[in-house]
Structure formats: C-alpha cells, structure tokens
Amino acid sequence: MFAQRLAQVSASATLKAAAEAERLRRAGIKVVDFTAGEPDFPTPEHVKAAGKAAIDANFTRYTAAAGIPELREAICARYGRQYGVEIAAAEVLVTAGGKQALFNTALALFDPGDEVITHAPYWPTIPEQVKLVGATPVIVQTRSDEGFTVDPEAVIAAMTPRTKAVIINSPCNPTGAMVDEAALSPIVDAAAKRGIWIVVDLCYEQLIYEQVPHNLPKLLFDRHRDRTVLAGSASKSYAMTGWRCGWTIAPKALTGAFNTIQGQTTSNIASITQKAALAAIGGPQDTVTAMLNEYRERRDNIHAWLTAHPAIRCVKPRGAFYLFPDISGLLSPEGIGTSADFAQALLEKEHVAVTAGEGFDAPGYLRISYAASMEDLREGATRILRFAESLQPVRA
Ligand SMILES: Cc1ncc(COP(=O)(O)O)c(C=O)c1O
C-alpha cells in the first residue's frame, strides 16, 4: 500500500521510548525520564524576545527558501570566529533543524546503489535517511574499550567504488565520543583520492567538555572543500529544539541543489524562528557556557554514581549530553537477556526511562540523557543501582 522506500525504514527508537514513559506518566506514575534528546533548559530570554519581536513586527511571511540573508551571514561569521574559516552566505542554507540539513544532503547526493559509510553506535536517523533515499548504509563499529573512537583505517577499509560519502557525527549521539583531527585526517585524504563526500554532523559542536583538537571544518576546507558538507543546528546549543533551526554549509552548487529541494518541499523555515536564531547565533553566548557548565557537572555526577557498580562500565563522554554505559555484565540467559529487556524492566519496576542500545546498533548498552535535573539524576541513579543489585548473578 505504501511506497517501497518505506519498507527498509524504522521508526525512531528514541521517540518510542519517550512515548512509553509518557504513557506511564499519564497513568499518574512519577517516571524519571532519561530519554530526552533535548536540553531541559528554557530557550534563553534574549532569543525568545527576538521571536516575540518578529511576531509584533509582522515578520510572518515567506522568506527566501534558503533563509534570510542576515541569518546566513551570522552563521558564516560564527564559523569564522569558531574555526577560522571563511564561508560565503551562498554556501549556507537554513533548514528545519539538523535533521533536514542531513536529509537535504541525502536527497541531493545519494542514489540507489550508493554506499554511505558511517560509524556505530549511531544516531539512528543517519542510516535511516540513507535508506530512505534508496542508498545503503555501511557501518563501521567503534568500541567502548577504545572510548568509541573512530578508527580511520576501518573507515578507509570500508570504502569501495560505490562509496558516495562518509558521515561523521562528532560529538556523537549516543556515545559522546569525538572524532578528532588526527582521526579525520587520513579519512579526508582517502576520500579526496576517491572523490568521496564527507558529511560532518556538528549538531553538538558547542557541547564539548574535554577539549581535543576538533577543528574539523578547517581541516576539511583546507583539503576537501569541494566535497564537504557541514550540518549544524541551533537545537542543542541554544535550547531551541522546538523552534526548528539548523543549516548546511556546502559548496555553492550543492547549496543550490539544497535550495531546489527545499524550495519544492518545505520552503523556508518559520520566519519567526529565523529572527530568534539570529539573536541566538549573533548575540551573547554566555547562556551556552552556563548550560555547558551545568551539563559537565551532571555528567561527572551521573558517571560517578553509575560506575560505582562493578558491572556497569562507562566511557566518560567528551561531548553532547548522553551517557552510554555497557550493562552487558548485568545480562544473563537466566535473568534479563538483552538491553532492550533491561530498559523495559527498569521502566516497569523502577519507573526509570532510558533508551536501549539496540536502537543505536549497540545491544548491551543503554543511553541515558543527562539533560535532566540533578535531582532526577540522583533519584534515577539510585533506582538504576537498586535495579542492578536485584539482578543475580552479577558478572563484573
Ligand atoms: C546527532 C544528531 N544530529 C542531528 C540532530 C538533529 O537535531 P535537530 O533536527 O533538532 O537540529 C540530532 C538530534 O537529536 C542529533 O542527535
């Protein structure tokens, strides 16, 4: 009944977990919810004020599909300041979140038969979008005992004559790992030799706790600019998930293709959002720093609390706001056999909602979002530890 292209595509696992938690909440149960893929902070006041002012000034009509020039300029200026790269407004297109930025990229670049390499554990949208346009995701696994770092040799070994692109997500959802310059560099060289595109999802680029050499835009622009796409987002940095603002930075011709796609699908993102995003990106950044500091403290605490259990192993994330513990030591054929069952039982018994690793191509893990209050983190950690204690035998 539906189009063939849907046969391969799955619904979002993270949204499913959140819906299950919501169901319990509606039944009056106090659920500690660690499924959120979004900041728990409100949008900063000056950003909200800019949105309100846009409405009052009747800035409520269509804009150019690619976005208002001042916002595109502000994005260029931000990347100039942050990475020392020079970008023209004609290389920037404003999208309804990073999700549309990546989907425009998939539509414009990937054909059926093309292979697109990415790393796992991954944000599920990345391979699902590849499948949605008929191309084939090729997955390179990363390992928790290596800090989920991407091994460039493994990525290069996965390249074939059909490879159209490599998609890198750094900082990574769900692992919080980063792909640093040293890891990206050989991938760029191999891609340049073979004419392969590199797409970097930088949605969490402002949420970095441990500094590593991470000037990926400069590295790519210096060596591979004609086949680079950067996808960015206002969602996480500025607590603006509901406003829907992201962007692509790509060569002018590809940006023109994105413009055609967007012009025939959604057109511009909300005019009001564009004014708010302009205030966010062009205005003071102290709210970003304040949120980052708070996330860091939460990360340190939840990491320490959970890893106090001998069977919970967890890499300390360097960016984003997720913990991705390996709980395979708590699983057993006689008890709870999978992380999906673990997440379900944890929700039912202790009313803590987490996302099972299966959805990220990582069975045996859980994703715990620490975009939650310290009080909830404390309470949730207590309940998780109590649940873990109740499982026997524990294999450390
Ligand atoms: C890795 C990653 N990329 C991109 C996005 C897109 O977010 P948005 O569409 O809100 O900008 C998300 C959201 O969860 C994400 O986790």
Tens-digit pLDDT profile for residues 219-245: 999 999 999 999 999 999 999 999 999
Which CATH number characterizes residue 235's domain? 3.40.640.10
pLDDT of residue 16: 75
* Claim to verify: residue 74 and residue 13 sit in the same structural domain: no
Out of 18-27, 182-191, 281-290, 320-329, least confident range: 18-27
Residue 136 lies in a domain: yes
Whole-number Å distance, alpha carbon 232 to ligand 1 midpoint, is 9
Strands (E), 195-351: 197-201, 228-233, 246-249, 322-323
Residue 74 lies in a domain: yes
Which CATH number characterizes residue 300's domain? 3.90.1150.10
Mean per-residue pLDDT for 167-186? 98
* Claim to verify: residue 232 and residue 318 sit in the same structural domain: no
Residue 17: pLDDT band by 50, 70, 90 thresholds?
Answer: confident
* Claim to verify: residue 8 and residue 97 sit in the same structural domain: no
Task: Locate 312 and state its tokens.
Answer: 């919970």
Residue identifier of the C-alpha nearest atom 4 of ligand 1:
98
Residue 396 lies in a domain: no
Alpha-carbon gap, residue 10 to 132, rounded angstroms: 10
Read off the pLDDT of residues 321-369 as tens digits, 9 standing for 90 and up: 999 999 999 999 999 999 999 999 999 999 999 999 999 999 999 999 9
Residue 395 lies in a domain: no
Q: Which atom of ligand 1 is nearest to the CA of 123?
A: 1
Residue 393: pLDDT band by 50, 70, 90 thresholds?
Answer: low
* Claim to verify: residue 271 and residue 122 sit in the same structural domain: yes
Residue identifier of the C-alpha nearest atom 1 of ligand 1:
173
Residue 221 lies in a domain: yes
pLDDT of residue 9: 87
Read off the pLDDT of residues 77-109 as tens digits, 9 standing for 90 and up: 999 999 999 999 999 999 999 999 999 999 999
Query: Residue type at 57?
Result: A
* Claim to verify: residue 51 and residue 116 sit in the same structural domain: yes
Q: How many domains in the chain?
A: 2
For residues 23 and 85, which has the higher predicted lDDT (pLDDT)?
Answer: 85
Answer whether residue 2 shows pLDDT above 70: yes
* Claim to verify: residue 163 and residue 227 sit in the same structural domain: yes
Mean per-residue pLDDT for 294-319? 97
* Claim to verify: residue 296 and residue 219 sit in the same structural domain: no
Pocket (CB within 6 angstroms of ligand 1) = 37, 97-99, 123, 169, 173, 201, 203, 233, 235, 241, 246
Residue 12: pLDDT band by 50, 70, 90 thresholds?
Answer: confident
Mean per-residue pLDDT for 190-203? 98
Whole-number Å distance, alpha carbon 80 to ligand 1 midpoint, is 22
Mean per-residue pLDDT for 378-389? 97
Residue 225 lies in a domain: yes
The domain containing residue 15 runs over which residues? 4-42+287-390
Element spanning 95, H or E: strand 92-95
For residues 331 and 395, which has the higher predicted lDDT (pLDDT)?
Answer: 331
pLDDT of residue 303: 98
Instruction: Indicate the average pLDDT of the chain.
Output: 96
Last-in-domain residue among 282, 308, 339? 282
* Claim to verify: residue 294 and residue 255 sit in the same structural domain: no
Answer whether residue 50 shows pLDDT above 60: yes
DSSP 109: H
Q: How far is CA 227 from CA 191, 254, 350, in A?
A: 9, 9, 49
Answer whether residue 132 shows pLDDT above 60: yes
* Claim to verify: residue 269 and residue 308 sit in the same structural domain: no
Residue 155 lies in a domain: yes
pLDDT of residue 392: 65
Last-in-domain residue among 282, 317, 345? 282
Residue 261 lies in a domain: yes
Last-in-domain residue among 282, 308, 335? 282
* Claim to verify: residue 294 and residue 327 sit in the same structural domain: yes
pLDDT of residue 238: 98
Whole-number Å distance, alpha carbon 231 to ligand 1 midpoint, is 10
* Claim to verify: residue 103 and residue 144 sit in the same structural domain: yes
Alpha-carbon gap, residue 261 to 360, rounded angstroms: 28
Q: Which atom of ligand 1 is nearest to the CA of 102?
A: 4
Residue identifier of the C-alpha nearest atom 16 of ligand 1:
173
Answer whether residue 162 shows pLDDT above 90: yes
* φ, ψ (nearest 5 deg) of residue 41: -80, 155
Whole-number Å distance, alpha carbon 66 to ligand 1 midpoint, is 19
Whole-number Å distance, alpha carbon 57 to ligand 1 midpoint, is 30
* Claim to verify: residue 160 and residue 216 sit in the same structural domain: yes
Alpha-carbon gap, residue 277 to 242, rounded angstroms: 12
